[in-house]
Amino acid sequence: FKAYGMSALPLNLIKGTTSASYERLENTEDIEEVEQHLLRIKSKCRDGRPLSSRDRRTLQQLEERLRTLRRRERHLESIEKSWWTKFCEAIRPLKIVWGVFFIIVALLFTVSLFLSNLDKALHSAGFDSGFIILGTNLTNPLNMLLPVLQRVFPLDYILITTIVMYFIFTSMAGIRNMGIWFFWTRLYKIRRGKTRPQALLFLCMILLLIVLHTSYMIYSLAPQYVMYGSQKYLVQWGVIVATYNQLGNIFTSLLYLIFLVVVLCSSKLFPFNLDQCIVTRTYLFLHKFWFFSAAYYFGNWAFIAVFLIGLIVSCCKGKKSVIEGEVDDDDSDMSDDELSVYYH
């Protein structure tokens, strides 16, 4: 859901939706076509002859189709007259700007995750160690930025909160577009004002799992920040300075100098600097239980693959309908009474 939402949300903002008046015109033409088809079928039984089973099935399907089209007509008419539609049309340039910004951020996260996984694939000890890598050979922008921001409180917390909120919004966009599935079976749809209580429970559970996953995704995006942050420790260096006499073979004095050097805590020195630096619990968990880290490593590759597939699908799809997901064949006509709550 998160990977697909990271591609679907910005592209939907950039492409926008179709015009309500244009959709209403097309819907009116479809209604006229269905009504004419119904009249042709009903004309067969005017002389008292019963309809065939095939014609009865076709008649029933056309009546259901006509009922759905008329419900679409009422929805489109309400949306066309609503102030919210006019407001969305006015801020259309702002939506395009936000869409471009979101797609740049999504590409930044994906490239950072790819570099981190590629680094693990090339320089880690392999599957038995959970692809844990001590140090970063292929760094990424977030891994460099977060330790720097940590020096000034609370800039790193602000960035982490922004990242988490971005993941939540994109995940909700992915769930909104895809719905809730069990393998190849759609269980529920997420629709405004018509979502079932069971779907809301599933939605909350999915969001909780996404937040849990985000805490471990930060490790892949910024391993240095997750392991040590900006911690430093002192290292003592001793230097012996000797002086010689004019013959060059007799010590006249010895001087032992001690220097204190400030060293940044790095994962390259793990576990030799455990007494000076405090390792986060997240990193110790991944280091000790390597099978979780290995499963998460392959999950990151799946995340990148789903993002690329979603990006291709979102680019190939046309504009969304202005009433996308609002009208279904299994909805009752009583649900149209709620239109005034959302559109007026």
- pLDDT one-digit tens code per residue, 226-249: 777 667 766 665 555 555 555 454
Average pLDDT across the chain, whole number: 76
Query: In 179-250, where does DSSP find H-type helix?
Result: 197-221, 223-227
* Global confidence as pTM: 0.73
In the prediction, which pLDDT does 28 show? 84
What is the band of 217 on the pLDDT scale with cuts at 50, 70, 90?
confident
DSSP 236: E
> Average of pLDDT values for 305-309?
91
Tens digits of residue pLDDT in 110-167: 888 888 888 888 877 777 766 776 656 677 778 778 878 877 888 888 888 888 888 8
Residue carrying structure tokens 């405004």: 192
What is the C-alpha to C-alpha distance for residues 181 and 211, in angstroms, rounded to an integer? 20
Backbone dihedral angles phi then psi of residue 57, each to the nearest 5 degrees: -65, -40
Residue carrying structure tokens 């690329």: 308
